[in-house]
């Protein structure tokens, strides 16, 4: 009897020591699950281009489009811009919670959201750039389609952002994929600027000089006035915006297809141990984590600085600098410089740390914000300054998304029993940045209204020039300083980041070992 028990024990021990097929698969998954091929990184990165292409086109051109092409009053334009962005911000945490409740499918948990939202998003985006032929209801038209597009784009971008945590278990691979993504996203801003700017720039409608007794109302309801040529040119300009939006919609669809077929979403290696949270529980959880709160607040102010610059730069170039026919090329130079600078900042943060990169990268734009206002207007100088400023824009693109996974990892280390909340962290970060964007656009347009902005005017009052200088120089500098002061207390240094990575790797190893042992016992 004892011999039989010993034989049985020996047999079970042998079975445990002998790897089963499932155990071999788990071991292989442990070895290779974190590594990403260059092709996978590129396909993942391409998926980020639609958000930046459309965001760049909207950020640089929507304000001037509503004012000078759709001929809306600045007050109503400010309502559209603010409400659209505020609504967009509200949808982010909502979509994040819905994603966290979504079941796993054979395509993953994030991919179905990305694929299903794409066709409806491109339709709404196209209709944003269409001027309806109605005397009343134009404001409602733009509110409906702007808010609809922002909601559908959220259904694309929030799961895409959270996908960073599910393409690899290795922090180094995620950082590398993020660098690829940021390079393509900045390239996306370059494409958005080039497509929108160059197509629209070829059909620039003439302005109205101060001596002419014409305004936007005359253009629409006073056909007896001899304004045939400006009216025809305005129609050409409106058609140019439609053509540009059609090209961007096509790129949007292609990028979504590449992402779907080129990236494999990995299922979580650990069990989700916590129940889904309510909206306010999610706020308390993410903002209660100190490093996340400081990261979000720091980037909230620095991002707001660049949003003020982005939203008003086209008007600043057109009216304050006097480069009405060159502003699209100036924007193109900024985005080209930012695209080329992304690899440099990836090397820099790897060499000197992410926190150092924040200080150096963000402050490098300050001298150029000062010079663009105080140096006499000169096209060549403006191009040089724009190219240099693009280097700092690249840092503003890369660093937030490179540092956010570190904060999520830190939360996992400090809360090992609370897992599966990646989408909540990403959605709330996007929520705060988009809400700030709505504030910047609304404040900017209202400020121009109070300053006496003249729709399609060849020149603007001195108050408008002063307002534009404040919006693209003084306000961004103050916001950058506030953001950097917050970053002083950001606690995740390179040493802590490496320590968190080591702890999480050990946790994954233990979970996979436990899963392997459980599989072997089931075989017995």
pLDDT digits 0-9 by tens, 112-122: 899 899 999 99
Spatial distance between the Cα atoms of 178 and 299, rounded to a whole number of angstroms: 17
Q: Please tell me the predicted confidence (pLDDT) of residue 243.
A: 92
Mean pLDDT rounded to a whole number for the chain: 77
Architecture of domain 278-519: Up-down Bundle (1.20)
Q: Domain extents for the chain?
A: 36-207+232-267, 278-519
132 has pLDDT over 70? yes
Question: Exposure of 280 by Cβ count < 10 A (0-12 exposed, 13-18 middle, 19+ buried)?
Answer: exposed
Instruction: Considering only residues 507 and 153, tell me which one the structure prediction assigns the higher pLDDT.
Output: 153
φ/ψ of residue 457, rounded to 5? -75, 145
Tell me the C-alpha to C-alpha distance, in Å, between residue 428 and each of 90, 293, 347, 458. Answer: 9, 10, 28, 42
Q: Please tell me the predicted confidence (pLDDT) of residue 257.
A: 92
Q: Please tell me the predicted confidence (pLDDT) of residue 219.
A: 42
Class in CATH terms, 36-207+232-267: mainly alpha
Q: Pull the structure tokens for residue 438.
A: 């709505």
Which of 69-73, 101-105, 490-494 bottoms out in mean pLDDT, i.e. has the lowest?
101-105
- DSSP per-residue letters across 382-419: HHHHHHHHHHHHHHHHHHHHHHHHHHHHHHHHH-TT--
Judge whether 497 and 352 are in contact, CB under 8 Å.
Answer: no
Q: Please tell me the predicted confidence (pLDDT) of residue 210.
A: 53
φ/ψ of residue 108, rounded to 5? 110, -170
Confidence of residue 377 (pLDDT cuts 50, 70, 90): confident
505 has pLDDT over 50? yes
Q: What is the mean pLDDT of residues 438-450?
A: 81
Give the 3-state secondary structure of residue 420: coil
Instruction: Considering only residues 2 and 398, tell me which one the structure prediction assigns the higher pLDDT.
Output: 398
Q: HEC string of 160-213?
A: HHHHHHHCCCCHHHHHHHHHHHHHHHHHHHHHHHHHHHHHHHCCCCCCECCCCC
222 has pLDDT over 60? no
Tell me: the pLDDT tens digits for 255-305? 999 988 888 877 665 444 455 566 677 677 777 888 888 888 888 888 888
């Amino acid at each position: 009897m004892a011999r039989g028990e010993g034989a049985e024990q020996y047999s079970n021990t042998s079975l445990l020591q002998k790897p089963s097929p499932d155990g071999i698969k788990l071991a292989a998954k442990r070895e290779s699950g974190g590594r990403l091929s260059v092709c996978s990184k590129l396909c993942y990165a391409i998926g980020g281009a639609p958000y930046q292409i459309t965001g760049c086109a909207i950020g640089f051109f929507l304000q001037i489009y509503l004012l000078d092409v759709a001929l809306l009053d600045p007050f109503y334009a400010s309502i559209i811009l603010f409400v659209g962005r505020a609504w967009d911000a509200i949808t982010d945490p909502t979509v994040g919670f819905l994603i966290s409740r979504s079941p796993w499918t054979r395509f993953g948990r994030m991919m179905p959201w990305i694929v299903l939202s794409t066709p409806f998003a491109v339709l709404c985006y196209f209709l944003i750039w269409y001027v309806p032929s109605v005397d009343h209801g134009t404001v409602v038209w733009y509110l409906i389609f702007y808010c609809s597009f922002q909601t559908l784009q959220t259904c694309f971008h929030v799961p895409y952002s959270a996908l960073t945590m599910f393409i690899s278990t290795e922090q180094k691979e995620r950082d590398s994929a993020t660098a690829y993504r940021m390079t393509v996203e900045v390239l996306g801003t370059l494409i958005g600027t080039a497509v929108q700017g160059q197509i629209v720039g070829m059909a620039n409608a003439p302005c109205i000089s101060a001596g002419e007794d014409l305004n936007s109302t005359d253009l629409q309801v006073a056909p007896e006035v001899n304004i045939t040529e400006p009216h025809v040119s305005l129609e050409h300009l409106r058609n140019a915006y439609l053509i540009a939006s059609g090209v961007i919609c096509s790129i949007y669809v292609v990028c979504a297809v590449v992402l779907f077929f080129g990236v494999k979403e990995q299922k979580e290696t650990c069990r989700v141990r916590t129940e889904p949270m309510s909206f306010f529980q999610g706020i308390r959880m993410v903002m209660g984590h100190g490093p996340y709160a400081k990261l979000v607040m720091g980037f909230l102010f620095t991002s707001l600085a660049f949003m003020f610059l982005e939203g008003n730069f086209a008007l600043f170039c057109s009216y304050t600098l006097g480069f009405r026919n060159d502003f699209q090329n100036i924007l193109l130079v900024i985005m080209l410089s930012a695209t080329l600078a992304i690899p440099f900042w990836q090397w820099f943060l790897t060499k000197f740390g992410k926190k150092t990169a924040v200080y150096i990268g963000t402050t490098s734009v300050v001298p150029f914000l000062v010079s663009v206002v105080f140096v006499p207007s000169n096209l060549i100088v403006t191009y040089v300054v724009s190219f240099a400023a693009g280097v700092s824009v690249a840092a503003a693109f890369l660093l937030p998304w490179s540092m956010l996974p570190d904060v999520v990892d830190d939360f996992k280390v400090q809360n090992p029993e609370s897992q599966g909340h990646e989408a909540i962290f990403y959605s709330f970060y996007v929520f705060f940045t988009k809400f700030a964007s709505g504030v910047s656009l609304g404040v900017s347009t209202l400020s121009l209204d109070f300053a006496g902005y003249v729709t399609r005017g060849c020149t603007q009052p001195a108050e408008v020039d002063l307002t534009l200088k404040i919006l693209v120089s003084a306000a961004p500098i103050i916001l950058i300083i506030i953001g950097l002061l917050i970053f002083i207390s950001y606690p995740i240094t390179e040493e802590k980041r490496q320590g968190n990575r080591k702890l999480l790797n050990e946790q994954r190893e233990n979970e996979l070992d436990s899963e392997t042992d459980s599989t072997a016992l089931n075989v017995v």
